[in-house]
Amino acid sequence: MTEVVSVKFKDTGKSYYFAPAGKKVKLGDKVVVETQNGNELGTIAEETHNVEDDALTLPLKKVIRIATEKDLKRVEDNKKKADEAFKICEELIENHQLDMKLVEVEYYFDGGKIVFFFTSDGRVDFRELVKDLAARFHTRIELRQIGVRDEAKMLGGLGICGQPYCCKRFLNDFESVSIKMAKEQGLSLNPTKISGSCGRLMCCLKYEEDAYSYLASITPRVGSTVKTPDGIGTVTDVNLVTGNLYVKLLDSEAMPIKFHRDNVECLQSPKKAQKPKNQQ
pLDDT at position 273 over 60: no
Contacts 24+ apart (CB under 8 A), 252-260: 257/228, 257/230, 257/233, 259/226, 259/228, 259/229
Q: Which of 4-8, 78-82, 250-254 is the least confident region?
A: 250-254
| Predicted confidence (pLDDT) per residue in 155-194, tens digit | 888 888 888 888 888 877 788 888 888 888 878 888 888 8
CATH dotted code for 73-146: 3.30.300
| Predicted confidence (pLDDT) per residue in 1-11, tens digit | 888 889 988 87
Residue intervals of the chain classified under CATH 3.30.300 are 73-146
Beta bridge partners of 117: 104, 144
pLDDT at position 278 over 60: no
d(C-alpha 131, C-alpha 140), whole Å: 10
CATH, domain 220-268, list 3.40.50.1820, 3.40.640.10, 2.30.30.30, 2.60.40.420: 2.30.30.30
| Predicted confidence (pLDDT) per residue in 27-65, tens digit | 999 999 998 878 899 999 988 888 888 778 778 889 999
Q: CA angle, corner 8, sides to 3 and 12, nearest 5?
A: 140
d(C-alpha 276, C-alpha 34), whole Å: 62
| Predicted confidence (pLDDT) per residue in 101-150, tens digit | 999 999 999 888 999 999 998 888 999 999 999 999 999 999 999 988 88
d(C-alpha 195, C-alpha 252), whole Å: 42
Task: Give the per-residue pLDDT at 75.
Answer: 93
Residue intervals of the chain classified under CATH 2.30.30.30 are 220-268
Q: pLDDT over 90 for what percent of the chain? A: 47
